[in-house]
């Protein structure tokens, strides 16, 4: 499932705020490494996503792929969050 424009915009805002960047600089291909987001920043992002979208992100730092999220890129996060939103609305 591809993220809706609204979901993509909201997540881009969250990521840009954490990286201290202009949201317009971020593309779906932008990696979190390129943004300089570390594990603490990622935890803050996940909390902001959970709060902002009223979802639970099933994340385990030892096996992040188990969450079903691509936490490497902006687009991957957006699409993964959209799947969680859709699953919750079921």
What's residue 60's pLDDT? 63
- Going from N- to C-terminal start, the domains of the chain cover 5-89
What value does the mean pLDDT of the chain take?
89
Q: pLDDT class for 68, splitting at 50, 70, 90?
A: low
pLDDT interval class at 78 (50, 70, 90): very high
What would the pLDDT profile of 33-59 be if each residue is shown by its tens digit?
999 999 899 989 999 999 999 998 876
CATH (residue range 5-89): 1.10.1200.10
pTM metric for this prediction: 0.88
Q: Does residue 90 or residue 27 have the better pLDDT?
A: 27
Residue 81 tokens, joined: 């969050």
Give residue 65's pLDDT band: very low, low, confident or very high (50, 70, 90).
low
pLDDT exceeds cutoff 90 at 70 = no
């Amino acid at each position: 499932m591809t993220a809706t424009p609204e979901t993509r915009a909201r997540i881009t805002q969250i990521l840009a705020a954490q990286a201290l960047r202009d949201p317009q600089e971020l593309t779906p291909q932008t990696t979190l490494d390129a943004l300089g987001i570390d594990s603490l920043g990622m935890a803050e992002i996940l909390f902001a996503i959970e709060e902002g979208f009223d979802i639970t992100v099933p994340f385990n730092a030892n096996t992040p792929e188990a969450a079903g999220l691509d936490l490497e890129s902006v687009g991957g996060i957006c699409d993964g969050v959209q799947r969680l939103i859709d699953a919750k609305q079921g």
